[in-house]
Amino acid sequence: MTTIRSTLEQTDWPLLAQQKLALIEVIEICPTTEQTELLQGLLHWIDALQDAAQAEGFNVVFLTTDD
């Protein structure tokens, strides 16, 4: 059984930061409001995950100025 802590330990934080930047780029060119809102929900979840992981002492990588 995988725990949240083990999942965070296995997270590739630099890769997640790159994926987050790619998501931001897609949101910027997204053709519909509904799609934008759905993708922004994922972006906010990633933000919360990064913040929580950093608070727990994980070496989170932030690549955007918004972080």
The pLDDT value recorded for residue 18 is: 96
Boundaries of every domain in the chain: 11-55
Say if residues 39 and 46 touch (Cβ distance below 8 Å): no
The pLDDT value recorded for residue 65 is: 55
Query: Could you read off the pLDDT of 4-63 as tens digits, one per residue?
Result: 999 999 999 999 999 999 999 999 998 899 999 999 999 999 999 999 999 999 999 998
Rounded to two decimals, what is the model's pTM? 0.84
Confidence band of 67 (pLDDT split at 50, 70, 90): very low
The phi-psi region of residue 15 (left if phi > 0; otherwise alpha if psi is between -120 and 50; otherwise beta) is alpha
